[in-house]
Every structure is written in C-alpha cells, then in structure tokens.
Structure 1
Amino acid sequence: MKRSWITFESSKNDTHPFGVEDGAGATALSNERALSTIQEQLFDGDNLSTIGKILENVGVSKLDANHIRRDVGGPVSPGIWYPLGYQ
C-alpha cells in the first residue's frame, strides 16, 4: 500500500469539493487507484480538478502540522485519509 498526496491547481474553471483546497490524501496499491478513489468519493464520480502534484509514499509528518496533520484519518488503511469525512 502507498500513501499518495495529491494537490490540485486552482482556476476559475475547476471547482474543488469542500476540504481539498490544500490537497487530498489516499492510501491504495497505486497512484492510479488513489486517484480513482478520490474521484469516486470526493468528486462523486465527476472529473477531477486539474492535478498539481502527486507525491507517492508521502510521510504524513511532512505535511503541514497546523492544518493538515491534525485532521488526518488513518493513513495505513486503504481509502481516503484527508480530508476527513470521506472515508
């Protein structure tokens, strides 16, 4: 299992679901599966916003301590661990 951190570009044409302005975190067998999970659960199956970066095998300790780390779910299990509420 790999922890992926995905950030999205901000533009007038892209709308983000609540809570993903800073990015989204998912654990899956591959980045492709992580993106698929994010698309299904965060974007309700709609197209993803324009992807900025994908960090593979990200250490949660590397993420922003004041905003992101305090709101991380269980990054060991498959599925979305940031933002909370989409598990």
Structure 2
Amino acid sequence: MSPLLAAASHTTHPTGLWLLLVILAAAGYLLHCVIWPYRACRKCAGAGRFRSPSGRAWRYCNRCSGRGAQLRAGRRIWTHLKSIERNRR
C-alpha cells in the first residue's frame, strides 16, 4: 500500500468546526438583518428613479416603488418567525 493512499484513508473531517462556522455565519447575518433591514434596490442602485430617454423627466423604479430600498430576505424570514410566535400566544 502506498503512503499516499494510507494517509488519505485515515483523514478525518472536522464537521463540528464547519457546523460551528455555519451557525456563526447565520447568526451574524440574522443580526445584520435586524440592525439594517433594508438594502439598496439592485435595479435603480438605491436612487429610486430613472431619467426618461429625453433626459428632462424622471420615472420611479418599478421594483422598489421609488423608495430606493428593498427589504432583505433575512428580515422577511425574521418577521415571519416573529408573526408565528405572536400568533401562538
């Protein structure tokens, strides 16, 4: 048996460390969504409006309704979980 094959067959994967990192990343994102619930709209880059082709007028962004911000997916999940908890009482 070659030394490489023997070394490869006895390696262990630290799954506990990866699980801890995933949990910490999820908790960090959840905290981020609680503190900053909105992100800049991707379509209008947070401006909320576009210039018309003539350049004289403005039109509002359809995706964010002219606000320039959209609710993050994590914040939607957080709000849903809080409403489930509220409805259980």
Decide: shared fold, TM above 0.5.
no
Larger RCO: Structure 1 or Structure 2 (Cα < 8 Å, ≥ 6 residues apart)?
1
The structure that is strand-richer by fraction is 1
Structure number with larger C-alpha Rg = 2
TM range (shorter): under 0.3
TM-score, normalised with respect to structure 1: 0.18
TM-score, normalised with respect to structure 2: 0.17
